Structure 1
Amino acid sequence: MADKTQPRFGFVNFAETWNGRLAMMGVVIGLSTELLTGQSILSQMGLG
């Protein structure tokens, strides 16, 4: 019997959905940290 599960890697809807969710979480966490510390994201990383 052939395996009918779709791949979860590459440019498939599953992977793109999670990529978008994690990117949105990263932006929210970065901006929240910026508001709490008063430093820009770049200065927190030592780049600015």
Structure 2
Amino acid sequence: METRETRSSTDLPPVAREYNGVDRNAFLFGWTPQAEIWNGRLAMIGFIAYVFWDLIGYSVVRDVLHLIGY
């Protein structure tokens, strides 16, 4: 029978480290892995904000399609 090593949730490291030894959640300016993480987070927030904006009736996509005749 195969045994698996498990870690309890209390053994987790206090800060997730990136390969360069810098905190992944640090807000660093420039082309860094941290900047890509923040870019993805902000893109997800923007996408969800647009979905809610569209659901309440303010649709940029629908208005553009209406203007071009679809």
Same fold by TM-score, threshold 0.5 exceeded?
A: yes
Q: Percent identity?
A: 38
More helix by share: 1
When Rg is computed on C-alpha atoms for both structures, the one with the higher figure is 2
Aligned residues: 37
What value does the CA root-mean-square deviation take over the aligned residues? Answer: 1.7
Mapped to 2, the partners of 1:17 and 1:10 lie a distance apart of 12
Structure having greater relative contact order (Cα 8 Å, sep ≥ 6): 1
Unaligned runs of 5+ in 1: 1-5
If the length of structure 1 is used for normalisation, what is the TM-score?
Answer: 0.60
Asked whether the equivalents of residues 30 and 41 of structure 1 are also in contact (C-alpha less than 8 Å), the reply is: no
Provide the TM-score with structure 2 as the length reference. Answer: 0.44
Amino acid at match of 2:54: E
- Alignment partner for residue 51 of structure 2, among 19, 31, 38? 31
The AA in structure 2 aligned to 1:40 is S
- Asked whether 1:40 is paired with 2:53, we answer no
